[in-house]
């Protein structure tokens, strides 16, 4: 048996951290290298990895790691590896890095130790590496070799159909992949990378360098002479949208079908808000640093890797803590408080504050948050043993770094019934269970509150008692009881409530 909910206060609101727009900010790693590629494991926005080389071509390799979304980077590799151009982590522990001198290696402990792997001793160097899941991935070897794995990199098999140099590769979905390269060629595979077909031919002696797909239909490609191509039908048709007539565009990131970024050299960052129809500069830089790759973490923190050991970082698009509902519901001498977030970023949790007449705001509890999430989260708390009156509640959302914001205030009235009542059971007719609700008012005797003896019984039409549901003293409040007629035959039954001089009866119909 439980008391029922009676009074509710509901508030719909947007609870967003106040972050002033900062734009793209430089992050200097302190290592004078070209940072060619980055990878953040699935579900991670704080921990990420990057690889590079001391020279634009060849050189000595480096592996960097961040644990704070790219604000600082530490070197985790030895000084004796060749230059690296590609990296992909499928989890916090498992990752791959590849580059010059036919060098491919794998870690299973988050980059502490690496194991060298040989695919084919005739290959030159690797320049792109992607995984769809923990087991399925592809790797590109210059000039025109693509290999795939279905066993987490234990074995690699060659693919077929390529005739041109390949620069970049990506998954549109599990079975559809695209790659780009020399002579502005675009290839597509519809069988998980086993065979490739040419789907676009551009200008000879011009190259495409980067591509990304949002889904199986929508994708973008970028390359020489400021060119950007857009497809909305899975590569059947491509529309040319030039960013500028100058500049080499190396990579692209699609936020959604309207918003995308493209980066290149020297120090080029452009953004579109209309699906690529027009592009505007998003960074006022110089002519020194080359930009190679762009990604956004799951918290939508933007990172661009470049030469001279530098990154650009942008938190303006970071996922806020968005509170979509905040409710307080009175239940006799309890208040049920619930709230829902649409997204969260670095959310340590929520303090709940309460205010009532004649008191100051009081913190009544702390509810842990979900850290960082782009999925809706639900929270619930019961404020117990509250007396009659008006109550006000407010949430204080706290980040891991101590920053906080308050929600708006909601109110709820806690009151008790003023008379006895027995409600009609629901559902009715029923099979085999139904809910019976009743209320007990405040009873004063000899100047003090009393808890009357309450009985709730069920009879058949002949007057035989078939169930005793309640037989005890009950304080004021609203109550509900579940009645099961699993062992009773179909028919009409009578529910009777007795308390002091109050008697009420309701007819119930059981149909099996």
**Residues 212-249: tens digit of each pLDDT:** 999 999 999 999 999 999 999 999 999 998 887 667 99
The answer to whether 2 touches 247, Cβ cutoff 8 Å, is no
Same domain, 167 and 254: yes
Same domain, 140 and 195: no
The answer to whether 34 touches 58, Cβ cutoff 8 Å, is no
Same domain, 34 and 67: yes
Same domain, 231 and 245: yes
Which CATH number covers residue 441?
Answer: 2.60.40.2550
Q: Is residue 19 part of a domain?
A: no
Same domain, 403 and 310: no
CA distance 483 to 146: 67
Query: pLDDT confidence of 15, banded at 50, 70, 90?
Result: very low
186: pLDDT strictly greater than 80: yes
Query: pLDDT confidence of 445, banded at 50, 70, 90?
Result: low
Which CATH number covers residue 275?
Answer: 2.130.10.10
Task: Give CA torsion, residues 440, 444, 445, 448, to 10 deg.
Answer: 120
Question: What confidence tens digit (pLDDT) does each residue in 341-379 have?
Answer: 988 877 889 999 999 877 889 999 999 999 878 789 999
Same domain, 358 and 327: yes
402: pLDDT strictly greater than 90: no
Q: Is residue 387 part of a domain?
A: yes
14: pLDDT strictly greater than 60: no
146: pLDDT strictly greater than 50: yes
Same domain, 202 and 95: no
Q: Is residue 12 part of a domain?
A: no
333: pLDDT strictly greater than 80: no
Strand-strand pairing, 177-181 and 166-171: antiparallel
> What's the domain range around 279?
159-287
Which CATH number covers residue 408?
Answer: 2.60.40.10
Same domain, 453 and 378: no
Q: Kindly give, in sequence order, each residue whose CB lies less than 8 Å from that of residue 441, ignoring residues fewer than 6 positions away.
A: 416, 417, 418, 419, 420, 476
pTM to 2 decimal places: 0.64
Q: Kindly give, in sequence order, each residue whose CB lies less than 8 Å from that of residue 299, ignoring residues fewer than 6 positions away.
A: 45, 69, 318, 319, 345, 346, 372, 374
Residue 315: the pLDDT is 82
Structural domains in the chain (count): 4
Q: Is residue 16 part of a domain?
A: no
Measured CA to CA in angstroms, residue 114 lies from 11, 46, 354 at distances of 53, 22, 54
Residue 460: the pLDDT is 95
Give the end of a domain, one of 346, 380, 414.
414
Cis peptide before 414 (omega within 30 of 0): no
Question: What confidence tens digit (pLDDT) does each residue in 258-312 have?
Answer: 889 999 988 999 999 999 999 999 998 888 999 999 999 877 889 999 999 999 9
Query: pLDDT confidence of 1, banded at 50, 70, 90?
Result: very low
Same domain, 138 and 86: yes
Same domain, 219 and 272: yes
Question: What confidence tens digit (pLDDT) does each residue in 307-323 have?
Answer: 999 999 998 776 668 88
464: pLDDT strictly greater than 60: yes
């Amino acid at each position: 048996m439980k008391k029922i909910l009676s009074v509710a206060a509901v508030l719909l609101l947007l609870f967003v951290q106040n972050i002033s727009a900062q734009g793209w900010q430089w992050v200097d790693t302190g290592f004078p290298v070209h940072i060619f590629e980055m990878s953040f494991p699935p579900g991670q926005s704080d921990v990420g990895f990057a690889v590079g080389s001391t020279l634009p071509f060849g050189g000595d390799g480096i592996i960097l790691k961040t644990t704070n979304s790219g604000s600082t980077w530490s070197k985790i590799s030895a000084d004796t590896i060749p230059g690296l151009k590609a990296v992909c982590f499928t989890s916090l522990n498992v990752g791959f890095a590849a580059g010059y001198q036919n060098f491919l290696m794998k870690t299973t402990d988050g980059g502490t130790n690496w194991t060298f792997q040989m695919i084919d001793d005739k290959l030159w160097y690797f320049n792109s590496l992607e995984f769809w899941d923990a087991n399925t991935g592809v790797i590109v070897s210059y000039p025109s070799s693509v290999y795939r794995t279905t066993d987490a990199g234990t074995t690699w098999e060659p693919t077929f159909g390529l005739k041109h140099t390949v620069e970049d590769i990506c998954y549109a979905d599990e079975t559809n992949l695209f790659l780009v390269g020399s002579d502005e060629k675009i290839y597509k595979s519809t069988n998980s990378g086993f065979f490739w077909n040419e789907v676009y031919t551009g200008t000879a002696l011009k190259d495409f360098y980067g591509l990304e797909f949002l889904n199986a239909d929508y994708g973008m490609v970028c390359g020489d002479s400021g060119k950007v191509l857009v497809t909305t039908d899975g590569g059947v048709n491509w529309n040319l949208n030039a960013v500028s007539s100058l500049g080499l565009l190396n990579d692209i990131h699609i936020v959604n079908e309207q918003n995308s970024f493209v980066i290149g050299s020297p120090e080029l960052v452009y953004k579109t808000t209309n699906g690529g129809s027009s592009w505007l500069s998003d960074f006022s830089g110089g002519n020194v640093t080359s930009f190679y790759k762009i990604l956004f973490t799951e918290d939508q923190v933007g990172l661009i890797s470049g030469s001279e050991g530098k990154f650009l970082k942008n938190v303006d698009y970071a996922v806020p803590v968005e509170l979509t509902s905040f409710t307080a519901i009175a239940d006799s001498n309890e208040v049920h408080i619930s709230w829902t977030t649409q997204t969260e970023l670095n959310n340590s949790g929520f303090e709940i504050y309460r205010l009532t007449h004649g008191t100051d705001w009081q913190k009544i509890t702390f509810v842990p948050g979900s850290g960082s999430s782009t999925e809706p989260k639900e929270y619930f708390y019961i404020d117990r043993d509250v007396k009659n009156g008006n109550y006000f509640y407010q949430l204080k959302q706290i980040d891991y770094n101590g920053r906080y914001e308050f929600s708006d205030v909601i109110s709820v009235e806690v009151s008790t019934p003023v008379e006895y009542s027995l409600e009609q059971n629901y559902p009715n007719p029923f099979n085999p269970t139904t809910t019976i609700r009743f209320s007990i008012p405040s009873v004063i005797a000899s100047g003090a509150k009393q808890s009357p003896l309450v009985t709730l019984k069920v009879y058949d039409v002949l007057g035989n008692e078939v169930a005793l549901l309640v037989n005890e003293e009950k304080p004021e409040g609203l109550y509900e009881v579940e009645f099961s007629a699993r062992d009773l035959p179909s028919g009409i039954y009578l529910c009777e409530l007795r308390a002091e001089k109050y008697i009420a009866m309701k007819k119930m119909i059981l149909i099996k």
